Structure 1
């Protein structure tokens, strides 16, 4: 089978994007939300830099990466494009120095050690970064993120790190065909977000809820997601199953 041409890939990604964006609109209309209140973050892990260049032409100007090394390499290869990079996967302190060079957003903050290192590096660079606090909404031991009951105490420490611009919460719901169990994760996040809006320290914002991926983003929107992280519905199936990329899947 011959490889798809650049034009064929461009048309495929454009069509997939249009489908996802229409489904976002439909999900918003269903619950009386403004479609503009939901941001689509294309997830580009395992997608080649060449294909991402095509995706940029198709309209993907934000890209979310799970692994720092993969994001770093792609940001260098695609450095001539004005891509806004978001790190959406677990971050070790020894990798922080890399993301402060190219990423504009970090969606998986669940450690004060990482917060301190990130703040130190950002202060030295004279810049800030948008961050989301990652929450383990499903209670699965295999997943990163703070347990919901630990989040309020955690965020009370975040004003100590002035370069971190806290925007909201992020989660991965349970990977299940039981939609009630998936929805429960999203409801838990929305309720937590609402409490934080009342009790969080001054200067921290909890307006954003990053939740929902290719298989469940419409459900997430119904329960209040403001950012949906969609990969396969835009770029096609990955070469390996989800369990290879995300802990707790499969």
Structure 2
């Protein structure tokens, strides 16, 4: 298959080792500023994918991200933030990385080249046709991810993807592809940079928009967040004060009694 893998094309900059720290920072930042513009071009694709995710999750399904290396780690980061931010069960949004959890910290050699393992990993999570699987790969050529989506199709499981190369095998495999073309990296081929930033932005959109659509945000506040530290408890108290006419002490007592901002506000009777 012939397609232009722009994430592997030579950087627009050369002799990086001869640049000053200032010039390196200025040029990296200049490249980074192009990423949100590239994401904006993909908004119709992102909307189409999220619409499918929301429908599946409203019907009782779950969301899975699969990826290798940086892409896999980004999926895990997004999935792991959903329970504390939105108060959802830990198995509602799931991140799976090639090579297993040990690959979160250290690269596992050739894990991304196994076309069969992603499906094995999904089966271990009791994947079903109620769920959605989103493959993440900047290159769009990762066998682990492509093989996983192909197996999903055999079992009638809805698929999407996030990639940075137009016309890539992954983009052509996913039913609802999201392609964010960020172009060559500042350091040639280092797709943890612009491509990684683009993936993170899209993942933020997917999880946040989905959770809002599922009713996990009220107004603009995380009313179902987990109260797992002093900062979050204080935030919760102030959320309650912004919703109902009580003092800080009264709001704190309501929060302690009911265990969540939503329940505290709902239970309040003046």
Pair in the same fold by TM > 0.5? no
The higher radius of gyration belongs to 2
- Larger RCO (CA within 8 A; separation ≥ 6): 2
Please state which structure has a larger fraction of its residues in strand: 1
Please state which structure has a larger fraction of its residues in helix: 2
